[in-house]
Structure 1
């Protein structure tokens, strides 16, 4: 199975359908993923403080958590466009934006963005590059960003103990259990939880190289969601939304323990 077809399967299995979209949104508001999601959004907000406003594209918007937050924290300052490959996610984003919102939401893919060259002052891509051919995705993001514009992307941190256990131990164990359950005739809905295939992680150094290849100038980075927990302990010992939720970038040992990082870049003006 090719990487792209694995990604298609992963996205279709996880995010298509209204119930899947709502469940995804709920998990980020109240669940094992809530701390991660809130910290990530707070960190993006911190970087957006340097931007007065303008046109903003949220690529891979999901059910619109980031869109909802920007509307609340910066009312009327950004003309927001949201894009996701799932119609269910786009519909959920529109609902979460609320009645009377002027958010433009559309179905599309980051590898072939349906927008004009230099259309956006800010492009945000949270949790989407892991599923893509990154150089192709970044080339498209660069194309639709105006000269001098800001690009913010997040990436899961492949160097963290959390991700090592998740990808190398926990998910392989779940895959094995699911195969055994399938052989025993256990219905799919009663098998162990889903495993996300088609994900590839990149270190900050590697991602900076790909930014440069796409014509972006990578600048500041910030690591976030530091934890000593590993899967599945994080499901039973949830973290509180304390200091880290205010999105203070991590340094040193906290950087090594962070489950993800943000990389900010600008498109050269000339």
Structure 2
């Protein structure tokens, strides 16, 4: 490899780590780049799942050779397929641009119906832009039609203010972990400060959601309060400062089983965790 190709390889490997794939694709990436393959066909991988599970999500990175720069490769996004009863039901490609975009773990969360806060692209000052994103599964689609990805700029909301609607216990570092889980679309378990009618401190879960405002045809950010069984107790809604449903090139549609899907799959290495750590409790269940 030339020095330029070595730099390109190093950048792509770091991008894969950032996206949550660890180093599971590093050797194949180096080999296929050296061979000059125009498209690198990675095997599918997926989060940890229970043995014999029939509902799961598989992912793989999309890396292709640049059309106008032979020998230079680009990480364009993450392909993901959701299986229901072991049959592929939904396929989606999550865009990736210069180490920004959803991580593999966030892609799983969105396909599982969650709402995540993520970076995507840069503003005029080269700072990463942030969005709250979710898929609106309530809107019906016909075979082959695309589902809508709802994206609202994070600056349109005040997340700390929304969270302040529920007063919960915890040290500063514990509340930082709660905020991180909520931003990643996960359920954050908390103990409320105010006692219930029985004098107990309720244990609930907090989770974000984007709720359509039918009167304005826009989306609001909601904080859902759930009991530990997953039943919704109440919901706090915050209207955006500048409500806009963002358009995207995200493609999501029903499709047949992906080509090249192996019988056994790799496990994601530390998806979405800094330092490549894997946290079982943060793995979304499908």
Q: Please classify the TM superposition score into its range, dividing by the shorter chain length.
A: under 0.3
Query: Which of the pair is proportionally richer in strand?
Result: 2
Q: TM-score, normalised by structure 1?
A: 0.22
